[in-house]
Amino acid sequence: MRYEIDSPLLLSLMPAIVQAEDGLARLDERAARAAVADGFAERRHFFDAVGALWVAGELVHVEDLVLHDAHMDTRTPSHELTIAHSILRTRRRVWTSAPGWALSSSGLAVLSGGIDGEGAHLEVNGTKALVDENAEDEEDAILAAELAEIDAILDRSRRLLESHGHSGKPDLIEVSEPKKEKRADDPLGLFDDEEWDEAARLRMWRKTLVIADELPATLGAALIFEAWERIEPLRRQHWLGGLLAASYLRARGKVTSHLFAFYAGLKTIRHERRRARDRLTRLQAFLEAMGESAVAGMKEMDRLSLARTQMEIRFKSRRSSSSLPQLADFVLSRPMVSTAMVARQLQVTSRGALNLLNDIGIREITGRGRYRAWGII
């Protein structure tokens, strides 16, 4: 199996490539200049996490994910909700790092839970979380960004040394793989399948990045995602492929205003096209998914911009110490909010949070007396 793109295939994909390139360029330009850019970027994390589970055949409500992320669950979290929250935290981890960090050896080691870019297993204690819970703290985020930049420089240097003196396109699949070694932290083999060498498959997938760099950004992202789907490096984190494709678009400078929500558009594509036997059909489906996600992002930005304008009219004449501007920013960054979430965010009482929600004029989406929630629809 090879992943080169020949001329006939490139010509067949050209209309889809042009449409995806145009949609992503328009979305990135508008998101970089919009007043609701921060809220839009945060909301895309939630919708992409839910979309990743949708593509996998699992249904997770975005409202449950918001409450679970705020540690305010109304019921016991399901297994699917826990996975969706892992995707959400991983997206935040990728977004707060350097653009090329997720595709580097150190980045893959963190995201894959112990397998570095060279295929070796790292020493971990138990089931270590993929993302640090304190990554949202300002000091941790700055330190993580600096370390990610160092890792990206080291990775680029290593790739340059590997490619020095090498001419032509490499054979991406037909390589000799060393014998798989057992993990030191898993002597009983509870986390690994001995017949499924994730380290070798991950090395195999990383070689597609060399080919993707020679192609347009959108086609390169579609190529590495298609390779991830076919090779399946990580069976327990199959959803990571969409995040790596979004990180690749960011590293190539195609979408830099936010971490692109690839799964939000992919879930609108029919399963028969996403899993088709024909490679041309699959690549076209992935390119169309980027275009659909860009269109959905533009529509959502329209709604957020209109809602922000309406909220600004309500607190324009308020005193400077009013909490309504902070509430507006918080509402724009979440698909939905509750009185408890607002009270904790703004450090006010529950009654005060309810009064602020009534003053700002956003729509209530539950219509019930208990477990009330508000959001921008």
Last residue of a domain, one of 247, 274, 301: 301
For residue 183, the model assigns a pLDDT of 55
**SS3 assignment, position 338:** strand
Pair (237, 285) in one structural domain: yes
User: Which domain CATH number covers 353?
Assistant: 1.10.10
9 inside domain: no
Pair (61, 113) in one structural domain: yes
89 inside domain: yes
For residue 371, the model assigns a pLDDT of 73
310 inside domain: no
For residue 154, the model assigns a pLDDT of 73
Pair (323, 297) in one structural domain: no
| Pairwise CA distance, residues 123 & 136, whole Å | 25
Query: Which pTM does this prediction carry?
Result: 0.78
Structure tokens at 351: 């009654």
Q: How many residues does the chain have?
A: 377
The residue behind tokens 């309810």 is: 354
Say if strands 337-338 and 363-364 run parallel, antiparallel, or are unpaired: unpaired
Number of domains in the chain: 2
| Pairwise CA distance, residues 186 & 113, whole Å | 13
**SS3 assignment, position 163:** helix
The residue behind tokens 């959502």 is: 300
47 inside domain: yes
Q: What is the largest CA-CA distance in the chain?
A: 70
Please check whether residue 357 is in contact with residue 339, taking contact to mean a CB–CB distance below 8 angstroms.
yes
Pair (43, 172) in one structural domain: yes
For residue 171, the model assigns a pLDDT of 41
The number of angstroms, rounded, from the C-alpha of 276 to the middle of its chain's C-alpha atoms is 24
| Pairwise CA distance, residues 220 & 231, whole Å | 16
Backbone angles phi, psi at 13, to 5 degrees: -90, -10
| Pairwise CA distance, residues 61 & 373, whole Å | 14
Task: Please spell the DSSP secondary structure of 219-251, one letter per residue.
Answer: HHHHHHHHHHHHH-S-STTTTHHHHHHHHHHHH
48: burial class by Cβ within 10 Å (0-12, 13-18, 19+)? buried
For residue 282, the model assigns a pLDDT of 93
**Rounded average pLDDT per 10-residue block, the chain, 377 residues:** 72 92 95 93 96 93 93 88 95 93 90 61 36 47 67 70 52 43 56 68 90 92 93 88 95 94 94 91 95 95 93 82 89 92 92 90 75 84
- HEC letters along 1-25: CCCCCCHHHHHHHHHHHHHHHHHHH
Pair (53, 179) in one structural domain: yes
Please check whether residue 210 is in contact with residue 5, taking contact to mean a CB–CB distance below 8 angstroms.
no
Pair (249, 363) in one structural domain: no
Pair (111, 177) in one structural domain: yes
| Pairwise CA distance, residues 333 & 344, whole Å | 15
Pair (91, 171) in one structural domain: yes
Last residue of a domain, one of 277, 301, 325: 301
| Pairwise CA distance, residues 15 & 291, whole Å | 12
Please check whether residue 193 is in contact with residue 180, taking contact to mean a CB–CB distance below 8 angstroms.
no
Question: Which domain range does residue 367 map to?
Answer: 317-375
Last residue of a domain, one of 301, 330, 353: 301
- The beta strands (E) that lie in the chain are given as 337-338, 363-364, 373-375
The residue behind tokens 């060393």 is: 178
